[in-house]
Amino acid sequence: MTVSTAQLASWLERYAAVIAEHKQYLTGLDAAIGDGDHGINMDRGFQAVIAKMGPVRDKDAGTLLKTTGMALVSTVGGASGPLYGTFFLRAGTALDGKIEVADKELVDALEAGLKGVIDRGKANLKDKTMVDALTPALERARARLGEGASIADALSAAAEAAESGMKATIPLKALKGRASYLGERSVGHQDPGATSTFFMLRSLHEAVAEIPQGARTTTG
Amino acid sequence: MTVSTAQLASWLERYAAVIAEHKQYLTGLDAAIGDGDHGINMDRGFQAVIAKMGPVRDKDAGTLLKTTGMALVSTVGGASGPLYGTFFLRAGTALDGKIEVADKELVDALEAGLKGVIDRGKANLKDKTMVDALTPALERARARLGEGASIADALSAAAEAAESGMKATIPLKALKGRASYLGERSVGHQDPGATSTFFMLRSLHEAVAEIPQGARTTTG
Amino acid sequence: MAEATTTTRLKKLINSPESEVKDALAGMAAAHADLLRVEYDPNVIIRKDAPKKGKVGLVSGGGSGHEPMHGGFVGRGMLDAACPGAVFTSPTPDQMARATKAVDGGAGVLHIVKNYTGDIMNFEMAAELARAEGARVNPVITNDDVAVQDSLYTAGRRGVGVTVLLEKIVGGAAEAGYDLDKVTELAKKVNANGRSMGMALTSCTVPAAGKPTFDIADDEIELGIGIHGEPGRERTKMKSADEIAEILTSTVVKDLPFKRGDEVLAFVNGMGGTPLIELYVVYNAVNRYLSKEGIKISRSLVGSYITSLEMAGTSITLLKLDAETTKFWDAPVHTAALRWGV
Amino acid sequence: MAEATTTTRLKKLINSPESEVKDALAGMAAAHADLLRVEYDPNVIIRKDAPKKGKVGLVSGGGSGHEPMHGGFVGRGMLDAACPGAVFTSPTPDQMARATKAVDGGAGVLHIVKNYTGDIMNFEMAAELARAEGARVNPVITNDDVAVQDSLYTAGRRGVGVTVLLEKIVGGAAEAGYDLDKVTELAKKVNANGRSMGMALTSCTVPAAGKPTFDIADDEIELGIGIHGEPGRERTKMKSADEIAEILTSTVVKDLPFKRGDEVLAFVNGMGGTPLIELYVVYNAVNRYLSKEGIKISRSLVGSYITSLEMAGTSITLLKLDAETTKFWDAPVHTAALRWGV
Ligand SMILES: Nc1ncnc2c1ncn2[C@@H]1O[C@H](COP(=O)(O)OP(=O)(O)O)[C@@H](O)[C@H]1O
Ligand SMILES: Nc1ncnc2c1ncn2[C@@H]1O[C@H](COP(=O)(O)OP(=O)(O)O)[C@@H](O)[C@H]1O
Ligand SMILES: [Mg+2]
Ligand SMILES: [Mg+2]
Ligand SMILES: [Mg+2]
Ligand SMILES: [Mg+2]
């Protein structure tokens, strides 16, 4: 099976909507251990993505995701701008010229994105960052595909893994980003970036599985 | 009959205590139509008076009141500093060298003080200032003495007249001082300086009538 | 002291309401020993090299709580001495008398007085004392606040933002050798050509009072506020910066009135609790409004120079400039708060 | 927009959270046309006469809401360009890339970066872009906040007050003809010799967020606060100015450590909502503490130069001086916020 550029465009639209919806929630999480702007930053970025998507939505997946990355890099700022920006730039580069994306190619592209995030941010697992949601998610997706699952099922499992990874950041002491300034005081709070990353993977699954929008009852 | 320097010293002490007790009240009145510092100013001034009174309390009435005036002029500031300061300086000058003050001499001295307030502040009756309490008070005192009343009775009448003069400032529109900036908005508020002036005359009566301190149930 | 203590704990960086002014004066003396010296009891901030022989001395003063006004303006090209009163309370005659004596270089002394009954009377008594000692003293009174309705029968308008500009311009002239009469005349001209209006988003707390000077709802602002938190013209609903700037600027413009073609100094002032980013938002609106009106901003000042403790808000002052006032505005100045050309 | 509107109404002189930064930039451009020009999308404040041929270009940047930092420091003897991000959010690579190009006079460009993950990564990406176009770029990172426990495994200490002093000193050196390597070396020395710690009396409200970044009780203060309202070291009961100054200063002194006989620049900074009178009260306490310790204040700076919107509070920065840093601190500077010698 394959994933179409149209489905990826739907992913970005769904994610933008979820971010807008959870702007205050993400910002609240960031206020607890950061500077209270994560939702604002991500929303500013994905509004820009939506604005810039028009001309490229019918182009190849690579162009779509690179355009997304560029929009994020040039509008988000903060830590999440370069990180999410690099994620989409690298994933897009991996999908250059592709209109239809094979299941494994998609997971490989997301993997390339994750590698970009780590190159840029130098985070290790358990540093209490978005990496803690993204890493297990992609491992699960790859594993399920290996077991012969559909890309939709694989991404559903990825979203679940991202959610547990997100929740698993709560007991962690932050070692990267603004939250690390808090030392012990960062323990007991869920990482905002891991949370937005869980939303990102959930939106991807919903877009690929073509679940009617708004069907899901929102968490958070 | 006469009034002794000791009684005048007791006047100042009683007044200082009343001011301290009503500091917030006077300040509150000033906050409504001024800048919220009248009680603070008067308290700062009379604390200084008490501090400076020691050496002169056994001297003549003129020295006592001039010392009071100087202390007020150099510690109060604002509008009330020069006004109350001038009041006591002029009253003191009128009592130069006197240990025992004849009833009429006392009223004349207070009259001289009022004249000083008017020279300095150029206020007319009904401008909504301390003059509106002081003027009727001294008229009543002089009248009662004329009718043969004792100085204690005359000053009791003066205090009553001051209180009505003070209350009569409520409906007035301020034409002098900070309150005048409010124009119509100053109507309906009692003038703080007229209030502190009522307290001053009430304390004078209590000191001369030698009413045990704290006997009175406080108003305001 | 009980409520005083509460006050201190009421979120101010002070030790006690009683010590605030002296502690701040000691801080100024330590931070600016190159510019000024401080005397206590009576409290006076004096230009380090005062008296300047043959130069007209400039003495200003007013309640504390308006920093940097006036102590921050003591130095070359501006004030020779500043007399800080208690917070929001005009200083006492002995302070101005001492300042006058300390800065009198033989050419006479100008008293710069903001039009408040208390300031007027205390400066008057000081002038009487100084003259009794043979000094030549001229007073000049600033009364630029258009929020207050003027009238022969009232205390008249308050002195606000123009005071800062006047101290700079007249300070330049005194430094340049103007004699007392010319300095006085120039000071009157500056006051006559300037107008101001302010507004508050929040109240402020006089430490000794221990609670906010006035109450104001979260969605209300006070237009025409005085620098001591005296209530202003009207209490209205919160508005955008553009709307607020237009109300203040248009009221100021109409009052003088400032006319198409006039060259002005535009001064956007912060009340103490308003950050600079907001003042630039306001300046942007003022600039847009004035260019629409054909009034040219040839000089500007943006910052918190005449404040009301921690009050949030802004005031706008416009001064109509001519060659003389422009020249002395541009003249070198070296004070804690204003410095250029040196 | 709904809550945005509420925010605007939430007592700020702005038109909307979305327009605040651009409105303020337009205000700066109008008020300081003699010093700088402003470009939009990407937003950059550029020294009027940049690029200066043969001079090392100085580019700084960071989130908005810290005014006058950095735009107020653009001008002769300090920065060549400043890149303002959204409020409290580091700017984007395209801004720094544009700034770098605009100020590159052929001698290379120094990027002055405060140590925040976001700032570091965005400046890194900008440097990659600029180098791809053939520019020579050196970064210097400030990390002077002693409130944060440093460690190899964390993001390390935040860059705060020293950034202001570094921009002035290094700006003087660049103006004097230092080459890129010497400028970089001097910048590292300044950072290595400076330490800071701040505290907050109140929170601040990021307009786009619409509510205070943190809650704090009327009788509580946050010690070790970050300039974005990041929680600090500890939450304690309100204290007197002397106590607060001693806690901050002693922590700073012990950290470097500053020693008896050291000459320092003492910088008492306001967080935005704290009036100058309180900063002088704090300076007085700092001065008393340091003289007790035998540390000599040979230069000082008192005012609100690196702020956190309308937050009330203060930060104390000490910089150990030597002949070189003193010389360039004293060198002429002409910017909107700092000016002397010209
Ligand atoms: N070095 C890093 N590597 C990966 N993710 C990081 C790193 N630093 C921060 N993050 C992520 O960024 C999130 C914060 O993003 P945001 O609040 O938008 O930026 P900022 O911290 O600059 O305000 C954190 O919750 C964390 O998940
Ligand atoms: N010109 C004047 N003549 C007489 N009394 C005046 C005059 N101006 C003000 N006052 C009195 O002074 C009082 C205010 O005193 P205070 O608040 O201590 O000074 P300030 O107004 O300078 O803050 C007013 O309530 C009024 O009674
Ligand atoms: Mg954040
Ligand atoms: Mg008053
Ligand atoms: Mg007063
Ligand atoms: Mg941020």
Q: What is the pLDDT of residue D152?
A: 63
pTM of the entire predicted model? 0.94
Helix (H) / strand (E) containing C25:
helix C20-31
Q: Which residue of A33, A40, A76, A83 sits with most ligand 1 atoms within 8 Å of its CB, as the best mutation to test the pocket? A: A83
D230 closest CB neighbour out of A44, A79, A178: A178
Pocket of ligand 1 (CB under 6 A): A 30, 34-35, 37-38, 41, 78-80, 83, 117, 121-123, 129-131, 176-178, 191-194; D 90, 117-118
Q: Which of the four pLDDT bands, split at 50, 70 and 90, describes residue C6?
A: very low
The Cα–Cα gap between D174 and D178 comes to 5
Whether residue A219 has pLDDT greater than 80: no
Rounded CA-CA distance B41/D241 in Å is: 24
**Band of the pLDDT at C152, cuts 50, 70, 90?**
low
DSSP H helices in B34-102: 38-53, 61-75, 80-94
Q: d(Cα B87, Cα A209) in Å, to the nearest integer?
A: 90
From chain C, pick out residues whose CB is under 8 angstroms from the CB of D216. Answer: none
In chain A the first and final C-alpha atoms are separated, in Å, by 32
Report pLDDT for D5.
38
Nearest CA-CA partner of D321 in D304, D303, D296: D296
Looking at the complex, does the CB of residue D89 fall below 8 Å from at least one CB of chain A?
yes
Residue among B44, B83, B199 whose CB has most ligand 2 atoms within 8 A, to mutate: B83
Within 6 A (CB) of ligand 2 lie: B 30, 34-35, 37-38, 41, 78-80, 83, 117, 121-123, 129-131, 176-178, 191-194; C 90, 117-118
- Give the residue from B146, B144, B166, B167 showing the smallest Cα distance to B155: B144
Give me the pLDDT at residue C329, please: 98
What's the CA-to-centroid distance between A73 and ligand 1, angstroms? 14
Residue C228 bears catalytic tag: yes
Nearest to C273 among D27, D273, D340 (CB): D273
Q: Which residues of B touch C121 (CB under 8 A)?
A: 79, 81-83, 120-121
C-alpha span between D277 and D106 (Å, rounded): 45
Q: Could you tell me the maximum CA-CA distance found in chain A, to the nearest angstrom? A: 48
User: Considering CB atoms only, which of C24, C219, C244 is closest to D13?
Assistant: C244
Give me the residue from B74, B174, B185 closest to C94, CB to CB. B74
CA distance D283 to D272: 16
Average pLDDT over residues B80-108: 97
Which of C89, C145, C215 to probe the B interface (max B CBs under 10 A)?
C89
Please state the atom number of ligand 2 nearest to the C-alpha of residue B197. Answer: 27
Fill in the DSSP letter of residue A181.
Answer: G
Q: Residues for chain D: how many in total?
A: 342
- Among partner residues A75, A175, A177, which is closest to D153 by beta-carbon distance? A175
Burial class (CB in 10 A: 0-12, 13-18, 19+), C279: buried
> What are residue C266's DSSP bridge partners?
C300, C318
Q: Which residues contact D319 (CB under 8 A, 6 or more apart)?
A: D162, D165, D190, D193, D194, D264, D265, D267, D325
Q: Which residues of C touch D13 (CB under 8 A)?
A: 201, 241, 244, 274, 278-279, 281-282, 313-314
Measure CB to CB from residue D92 to each of A77, A79, A176 and give the nearest one.
Answer: A77
| Res D154: pLDDT | 73
Which C residues, 112 through 131, put their C-beta within 8 Å of a C-beta on chain B? Answer: 116-118, 121-122, 124-125
Q: Please choose, from the candidates D27, D9, D8, D10, the residue with its C-alpha nearest in 3D space to the C-alpha of residue D18.
A: D8
Q: C58: which strand partners?
A: C110
- CA angle at C203 for the pair C199 and C205, rounded to the nearest 5°: 140
Q: Whose CA is nearest to atom 5 of ligand 2?
A: B129
DSSP percent split of chain D into helix, strand, coil, nearest 5: 35, 25, 40
Chains contacting chain C through 3 or more C-beta pairs under 8 A: B, D
Say if residue B218's pLDDT is above 70: no
Going by pLDDT thresholds of 50, 70 and 90, the confidence category of residue B203 is very high
Cβ–Cβ below 8 Å for A78 and D89: yes
d(CA B47, CA B26): 16
Confidence label for C153 from pLDDT (cuts 50, 70 and 90): low
CA distance to B55, B60, B104, B142, B208, per residue, from B1 (Å): 26, 17, 9, 15, 11
A27–chain D nearest CA distance, Å = 7
- Which tokens go with B34? 């001024």
| pLDDT tens profile C84-124 | 999 999 999 999 999 999 999 999 999 999 999 999 999 99
Whole-angstrom distance, CA of residue C208 vs CA of residue B178? 19
pLDDT, position C128? 95
For residue C233, the distance in angstroms to the closest alpha carbon of chain B comes to 8
Amino acid at residue number C81? A
Q: Is A47 on the interface with D (CB under 8 A)?
A: no
Produce one character per residue of C27-59: b if its CB has 16 or more CB atoms within 10 Å, e if not: bbbbbbeebbbbbeebbbbbbeebbbeebbbbb
* Distance between start and end Cα atoms, chain B: 32
Residues from chain D contacting residue A35 (CB–CB below 8 Å): 88, 206, 213, 226, 228-230
A212 C-beta neighbours (distance < 10 Å), count: 7
pLDDT(C150) > 90: no
Give, in order, the Cα–Cα distances in Å from A171 to each of A32, A179, D234: 14, 13, 20
Is the per-residue pLDDT at B217 higher than 60?
no
Q: What is the percent of chain C where pLDDT is above 70?
A: 96
When pLDDT is averaged across residues C226-243 and rounded to a whole number, the result is 91
Report the C-alpha gap between A34 and A191 in whole angstroms.
9
CA dist D71 and D85 (Å) reads: 11
Which residues lie across from C62 on neighbouring strands? Answer: C84
d(CA C266, CA B201): 50
Chain C residue at shortest CA distance from B43? C208
Residue C151's pLDDT band (cuts 50, 70, 90): low
What is residue D4's predicted lDDT score, i.e. its pLDDT?
39
Q: Give the pLDDT of residue C240.
A: 97
**Tens digit of pLDDT for each residue in B134-189?**
999 999 999 999 999 999 999 999 999 999 999 999 999 999 998 988 888 899 99
Task: Report which DSSP code applies to A217.
Answer: P
What is C257-287 written as a DSSP string?
Answer: T--TT-EEEEEEEE-SSS-HHHHHHHHHHHH
Which residues face C263 on adjacent strands?
C296
Distance D328 CA to ligand 2 centre (A): 52
User: CA angle at residue B201 from B198 to B206, to 5 degrees?
Assistant: 125
On whether the CB atoms of residues D180 and D56 are closer than 8 A, the answer is yes
| Residues in chain D, pLDDT under 50 | 1-8
Measured distance CA(C301)–CA(C265) in Å, rounded: 8
Q: Which residues pair with C84 in a beta bridge?
A: C62
DSSP string for A18-79:
HHHHTHHHHHHHHHHHS-S-HHHHHHHHHHHHHHHHGGGTTS-HHHHHHHHHHHHHHHT-TT
> Which residue does chain A place closest to D94, by CA atoms?
A74
C-alpha pair distances (Å), C185 with each of A103, C130, C175: 86, 21, 15
Continuous H helices in chain B: 5-21, 23-33, 38-53, 61-75, 80-94, 103-121, 131-146, 151-167, 192-208
CB-CB neighbors (< 8 A) of B44 in chain C: 86
Which residues, at least 6 apart from C214, have a Cβ–Cβ distance to it below 8 Å?
B31, B36, C203, C222, C229, C231
Q: How many angstroms separate the CA atoms of A149 and A168, rounded?
A: 26
d(CA A118, CA B61): 88
Catalytic residue IDs of D: 66, 228
Diameter of chain D by CA atoms? 57
Phi, psi of D212, deg, nearest 5: -50, 140
Tell me the backbone φ, ψ of residue C195, rounded to 5 degrees: -145, 150
Neighbours of A174 (CB within 10 A): 25
Beta-sheet strand order (sheet of C109-114): C36-39, C44-47, C81-87, C57-64, C109-114, C137-142
The pLDDT of residue D315 is 98
What is the length of chain C? 342
Provide the token pair at C216.
């104001």
Q: What pLDDT sits at residue C209?
A: 85
Chain D neighbours, 3+ Cβ pairs < 8 A = A, C
Is ipTM beyond 0.85?
Answer: yes
Contact yes or no for D338/D78 (Cβ under 8 A): yes
Average pLDDT in the A146-169 region?
A: 98
Once rounded to an integer, what is the mean pLDDT over residues C204-231? 91
Token couple for C311: 């009050």
Residue whose structure tokens are 């998610």: A137
Planar angle of CA C153, C154, C156, nearest 5 degrees: 120
Please tell me the predicted confidence (pLDDT) of residue B220.
Answer: 42
| pLDDT score at D9 | 58
* Cα angle: C147, vertex C225, D219; to 5 degrees: 180
Task: Answer whether C281 sits within 8 Å of D23, measured CB to CB.
Answer: yes
Burial class (CB in 10 A: 0-12, 13-18, 19+), D54: exposed
From the alpha carbon of B41, which atom of ligand 2 is closest? Answer: 18
**B119-148 residues touching C, CB cutoff 8 A:** 120-121
End-to-end distance of chain C based on CA atoms, in angstroms? 45
**Mutation target among D20, D276, D329 for the C interface, most CBs of C within 10 A:** D276
Any chains having at least 3 CB pairs less than 8 A from chain A are: D
Whether the Cβ atoms of residue B24 and residue B192 lie closer than 8 Å to each other: no
What is the nearest CA distance from C5 to chain D, expressed in angstroms?
A: 10
For the cut 90, the answer to whether the pLDDT of residue C213 exceeds it is no
Ligand nearest to the CA of A42: 1
Rg over CA atoms, chain D: 19
Q: Considering chain B, what is the average pLDDT of its residues?
A: 95
Q: How far apart are CA C117 and CA C156, in angstroms?
A: 9
Nearest ligand for residue A194 CA = 1
Q: Exactly one of C32, C111, C228, C334 is catalytic; which is it?
A: C228
D38 contacts D26 by C-beta, under 8 angstroms: yes
Chain C partners of B41 at a C-beta cutoff of 8 Å? 86, 89
Residue D16 phi/psi, 5-degree rounding, is: -165, 155
Mean pLDDT for A186-208 is: 97
Give the per-residue pLDDT at B187.
95
- Read off the pLDDT of each residue in B198-205 and give the average, rounded to a whole number: 98
